[in-house]
Amino acid sequence: MKFDLAFVFRREVKFVVVLHSFISAKVSFLNCVSTFMYSEYRLGKR
């Protein structure tokens, strides 16, 4: 049985790309939430 390295490599690359996009979306969402919470905290403190 010949081990198809290119197929596995493509699958790994696709998985890494999906994981990276998911993590970047999560980080941007957390940035938005933290900015909103910080502005609310600043507004409430005054």
Supply the pLDDT for residue 28: 96
Alpha helices (H) in the chain, listed in sequence order: 5-45
pLDDT number for residue 39: 93
What is residue 1's predicted lDDT score, i.e. its pLDDT? 58
What's the CA gap between 39 and 1, in Å, rounded? Answer: 60
Distance of alpha carbon 11 from alpha carbon 17, whole angstroms: 10
| Rounded Cα gap, residues 40 and 46, in angstroms | 10
How much is the pTM? 0.56
Question: Per-residue pLDDT tens for 1-46?
Answer: 577 888 888 999 999 999 999 999 999 999 999 999 999 999 887 6
